[in-house]
Structure formats: structure tokens, C-alpha cells
Structure 1
Amino acid sequence: MKKRYLWIISAVLIILLAFLNPYLAGILAVACVWLLKD
């Protein structure tokens, strides 16, 4: 349950950041997937 909440927060932050800085958002997206995948 808590991990799902983290996924939602991460997704929202990445989407918001993508408008401001797409390159940084891409790096963060990869980092989040890598950290939360297990």
C-alpha cells in the first residue's frame, strides 16, 4: 500500500517536472523505476 502511494507521488512529481525540465525528469523517472522496482 505504501509503495503504491510512493509510485503515485513520484509519477505526479515527474509529470510536473517534465514541463519545466524534461531532461531532469527523464533521469528522475529512470531512478524511481530502478529504486522502486523490487
Structure 2
Amino acid sequence: MILLLLKTDWQINTINFSKDNNSIFSESLKAFTKKTY
């Protein structure tokens, strides 16, 4: 349960972070997030 919450929090932070970067980095980050889930 705790791990799931941490993982969700990490994804939210990652998505917010990717908004400040170029689209290529953002897209690769999305793909990585999908793989880990």
C-alpha cells in the first residue's frame, strides 16, 4: 500500500518535471512510466 502511494507520487512528480523539458525527454519519460506500471 505504501509502495503504491510512493509510486503514484513519483509519477505525479515526474509528469510535472517533464513539463519543464523538451518533448523528446517528456515522451521517453512517459514510455518509461508506462513500462514500470
TM-score (normalised: structure 1)? 0.51
Between Structure 1 and Structure 2, which shows a larger proportion of helix residues?
Answer: 1
TM-score (normalised: structure 2)? 0.51
Where does structure 2 lack aligned partners over 5 or more consecutive residues?
Answer: none
RMSD: 1.7
Where does structure 1 lack aligned partners over 5 or more consecutive residues?
Answer: none
Segments ≥4 residues shifted beyond 6 Å: none
Larger RCO, structure (CA 8 Å, separation 6 or more): 1
Q: Once the two structures are aligned, what percentage of the paired residues are identical?
A: 11
Q: Which entry has the higher C-alpha Rg, 1 or 2?
A: 2
